[in-house]
Amino acid sequence: MAAIQPPQRLFVTLDTPDEARALVLCGQLAGVAGGVKVGNELFTVAGPAGAVHLGADYLVAGRPTTGADDPAAAARAVVAGISEAGP
């Protein structure tokens, strides 16, 4: 098994509510960081579909799910947003 290189260990949180700025940051960080995580501000503004549009393969929905009155319903809403974004 190949060793994980230092840049692959770095994930940067995109803490901006501006999807266009997030796209610029993704481009600037390509090859420098192992990946990016959509921050809570951007996730709140752009939703799951926005995260998928930015190229997310996986979504981690913490506070929007665990902080909801009905976490299962909140998780279903995230899944619906992912589905709206398409494949």
Nearest to 18 by CA among 52, 46, 49: 46
Task: Output b/e per residue, 32-52; b: 16+ Cβ within 10 A.
Answer: ebebbbbeeebbeebbbebbb
C-alpha pair distances (Å), 8 with each of 24, 32, 34, 67: 20, 8, 4, 30
Helix runs in the chain, H state only: 19-29, 40-53, 63-66, 71-85
For 10-28, the pLDDT digits (tens) are 888 888 888 888 889 888 9
Give tens-digit pLDDT for 39-60: 778 877 888 888 888 777 788 7
